[in-house]
Structures are given as C-alpha cells and as structure tokens.
C-alpha cells in the first residue's frame, strides 16, 4: 500500500526484495487504510491463481474499508488479469476485524494435509467469516481449519500469533514456526541497565526497566498461558514440536504489541523482512536464530504508520506465491 507515510516501506521492499514489488496507491482521502494483507487472500485452485476478496466493507470500528478493497480488485483486473477474482461472502457488520484476511493463513504441509492446513483466529464469540470458511471447506484440501485462541489480542488475527519460515530441507521439517514469546523478550533485556533507553526517538520511547516490568505483569502471565495452550494445540493438530518453534521477543499491552511483533514478518523465499524493533539487543535476539537457518534478514522500520496503528509489516503487504511442486 503506497501513501506518503508508507513510502519508506515501499522503497525498502523494492530495493531489497528478490522478486518484483507492486505498489498500489490509495486515494488520499482514505490513506489511513494501509492494510493490504487484509484486502485479499491469494490461493491456487485447479492449478490457477485466485484471489479471495471483499469481506471488510461493513467494518464499523472507525475505518472506511470499501475504497481500498475496490482499488485492489480493480488493480488485479487491470494489471494481473490471469488471477481469478472471487467474492466468497458478503461483508457483515459488527465483526470488528475478525473477517479480515490477516486472520486467514495456512501451514506448510503437515501429516494428513499435503497442501497444508488452514489456520484462523477465534476471538471469544467471533470466528472467521462463515461463508468464506464454507467455501474453503468445499475445496476439500486444507480443512477443517485450526482455530487458534486470539482472545487475548485486541485485533485478533492469526498472523499476530504464528507464521512460518523456511529451514534447511534436511533439518527436521524444512520449516519453522515463529511464535511470540515474552520470556524471549525478557531474556534479551536481562543484562541491560534498567535506565537504558529503548525505542529512542519513537512514539512509545521507554526504558529497559519499564519493559522488564511489563514482561512480568499480569497480562504477560495470561499471554504465556494462552501461548502454552496454543503450542499444545499445534502439537496435537499439526504435529509441531517444540523444536519446530522459534520463540521471538514480544510484549503486549492491552492486547497490542509493544515491541514490533516479529511474527508479523514477510517471507520471500529465503529472505525475511522483519519489523525493526528499533533497539539493538532485540535485533540481535531476532537475527541470530533466523540467520542460523540460512535466511537473509532485513529489518524494516515500520514504526510509522504500521506499528503505532496496531499492525506490522505483514499487515501492510500481500504476496502472490507459486505452488511448490510435490515431492
């Protein structure tokens, strides 16, 4: 999504991405809607690319979403006509953010699901759009979905809780799962002085001592319990073991990320674009496990306008991927 405020991200991706980057310019009147991930979900059906579209139109939380959704649909029709455009459900009111496509992801191949398995977040009484889920069920490929508890998050998208990165083919499954982890954040901060400043020059600048206190408060305790339950669920439903998980430093306050959430990264082949935590000790804690898997890591500063608006790098991008050949 290209607006004056997102221009630094667009330029960074164009400069660093190993594949072409398409930038869609939004109308200035709706420039606050920068959530490209949520406008569409790309997939493959009968060997051909398709785009699932149009579930945000009745969003009632203060953002006008219809114009960007229409802009994306028009762009695909004009610039990428080989992609079939599908509307898989009518937008519904009172759904908060639950039907946005950041809440619809898929795992790599797992036992019993050679095409991967659909993942989506469930936030108390809310779960992903029933018509869209019914459409996916009819494909008989990646369902039933795994419903992950996101009730501890304000937005409540599954791409805040889990994402996947490649690993060497002979190293376990050939991929790893990223999950947020307050303990990893606390470990990265442990040997730093409490008065050391963090996020210098950013909205939300703070100190290490305050971050340490946050990492041990009641909300993080609740989050640890929720994430423990999620790990057990992933083990049971996807066969993901602890060794398949890379815990990444994350802290939350009122259900929103304090550290730019590294789970919400963009993977392009063996290149990973990670939201820059804008604090060297946290960069080191992230770069080490990713680089050890042979990945190229680029930290991209998305503090404005994404992180401060309750989203991260993945939320502001979308990727059209080719289906890998079966082994």
Catalogue the active-site residues: 315
Assess contact for 161 and 179: CB atoms under 8 A. yes
Assess contact for 65 and 34: CB atoms under 8 A. no
**Other residues' Cβ atoms within 10 Å of the Cβ of residue 16:** 14
Q: Whole-angstrom Cα distance, residue 225 to residue 230?
A: 9
Assess contact for 142 and 132: CB atoms under 8 A. no
Assess contact for 33 and 155: CB atoms under 8 A. no
* Helix (H) or strand (E) run with residue 120 in it: strand 118-122
Q: Whole-angstrom Cα distance, residue 145 to residue 139?
A: 12
Long-range pairs of 238-244 with CB within 8 A, sequence gap ≥ 24 = 238/107, 238/110, 238/117, 238/146, 239/110, 239/111, 240/110, 240/177, 243/172, 244/172, 244/173, 244/175, 244/176, 244/177
**Can you say how many angstroms the Cα of residue 179 is from the centroid of all Cα atoms in its chain?**
11
Assess contact for 251 and 258: CB atoms under 8 A. yes
């Amino acid at each position: 999504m290209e607006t004056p405020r997102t221009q630094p991200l667009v330029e960074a991706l164009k400069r660093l991405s190993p594949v072409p980057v398409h930038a869609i310019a939004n109308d200035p009147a709706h420039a606050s809607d920068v959530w490209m991930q949520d406008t569409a979900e790309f997939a493959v059906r009968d060997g051909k690319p398709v785009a699932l579209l149009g579930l945000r139109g009745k969003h009632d939380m203060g953002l006008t979403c219809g114009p960007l959704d229409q802009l994306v649909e028009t762009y695909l029709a004009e610039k990428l006509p080989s992609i079939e455009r599908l509307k898989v459900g009518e937008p519904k009111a009172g759904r908060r953010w639950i039907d946005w496509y950041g809440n619809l992801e898929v795992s790599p191949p797992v036992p019993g699901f050679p095409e991967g398995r659909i993942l989506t977040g469930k936030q108390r009484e809310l779960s992903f759009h029933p018509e869209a889920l019914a459409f996916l069920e009819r494909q008989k490929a990646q369902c039933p979905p795994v419903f992950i508890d996101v009730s501890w998050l304000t937005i409540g998208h599954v791409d805040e809780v889990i994402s996947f990165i490649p690993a060497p083919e002979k190293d376990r499954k050939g991929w790893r799962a990223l999950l947020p982890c307050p303990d990893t954040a606390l470990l990265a901060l442990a040997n730093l002085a409490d008065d050391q400043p963090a996020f210098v020059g950013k909205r939300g600048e703070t100190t290490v001592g305050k971050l340490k206190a946050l990492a041990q408060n009641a909300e993080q305790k609740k989050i640890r319990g929720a994430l423990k339950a999620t790990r057990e669920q992933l083990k049971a439903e996807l066969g993901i073991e602890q060794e398949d998980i890379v815990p990444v430093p994350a802290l939350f306050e009122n259900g929103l990320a304090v550290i730019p959430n590294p789970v919400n990264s963009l993977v392009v082949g063996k290149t990973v674009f990670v939201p820059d935590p804008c604090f060297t000790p946290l960069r080191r804690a992230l770069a080490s496990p990713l680089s050890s898997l042979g990945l190229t890591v680029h930290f991209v500063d998305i503090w404005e306008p994404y992180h401060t608006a309750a989203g991260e790098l993945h939320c502001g991008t979308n990727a059209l991927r080719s289906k890998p050949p079966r082994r």
